[in-house]
Chain A
Amino acid sequence: GNSVTQMEGPVTLSEEAFLTINCTYTATGYPSLFWYVQYPGEGLQLLLKATKADDKGSNKGFEATYRKETTSFHLEKGSVQVSDSAVYFCALTPTGTASKLTFGTGTRLQVTL
């Protein structure tokens, strides 16, 4: 079956540091890949997505590139802010259906001044 593996958290960074959160996946075919973010006390919000190999999703300074050869979709940001503190979830859904999302375990990011 499909699965998503994320790096363990929490990740603690100083403001303006570079962020990488690793995500790898197992799936048949060509799934669509997503990063969702959950700010404290809020629901899951779509951060970015990519639907085919070599696509780069980007939003709010975050980027992730769909790498078919390494089955990865790592999240990066060049300079994090305190307001980026949240839990980040990598997820996938199979192509061609209105199917469920399969999530990773989530990575908590804490950014300090």
Chain B
Amino acid sequence: EPEVTQTPSHQVTQMGQEVILRCVPISNHLYFYWYRQILGQKVEFLVSFYNNEISEKSEIFDDQFSVERPDGSNFTLKIRSTKLEDSAMYFCASRANTYSTDTQYFGPGTRLTVL
């Protein structure tokens, strides 16, 4: 069964460093998402991406964050200058089409630790 994959599974970085989290969505999907979950808190939406542009973003997704689909398969989240409060589990998700009944499929997550 097709699945969303994410790399790395765990990333440790120093405050102020740039990180890139990578995702490979399911191949025929059109909509891509990033969510994050700070330890012990709820899963929060960051950004959605369709047709090579951001379709929606949350207030968390400030100028330090960016997303890109550099080729036909990868979908990346970049944090330019990490802060301690960026430590969280980051989930990528993808969906096939535009109907809200359509399921979002999640990857296993990348745990980001900022020291």
Within residues 87 to 115 of chain B, which ones have a CB less than 8 A from any CB in chain A? 91, 93, 95, 97-109
Cα of A99 to Cα of B44 in the assembled complex, Å: 13
Q: Tell me the count of chain A residues lying within 8 A, CB to CB, of chain B.
A: 28
Across-interface contacts of B93 in A (CB, < 8 A): 44, 101
Which single member of B33, B44, B98, B106 contacts A36 (CB below 8 Å)?
B106
Across-interface contacts of B109 in A (CB, < 8 A): 43
Across-interface contacts of B91 in A (CB, < 8 A): 43-44
Q: Do A100 and B103 have beta carbons less than 8 Å apart?
A: no
| Given contact pairs A99-B48, A100-B33, A100-B56, A44 touches B101 in the complex (Cβ within 8 A) | no
The yes or no answer to B45 lying at the interface (CB within 8 A) is yes
A106 closest partner in B (C-beta): B42
Stretch at the interface among A12-20, A78-86, A87-95: A87-95
Q: Do A103 and B98 have beta carbons less than 8 Å apart?
A: no
Residues of B within 8 A of A (CB): 4, 6, 31, 33, 35, 41-45, 48, 50, 55-56, 58, 91, 93, 95, 97-109
Contacts A44-B93, A98-B50, A98-B55 known; list 4 others, CB within 8 Å: A93-B100, A97-B98, A100-B56, A100-B58
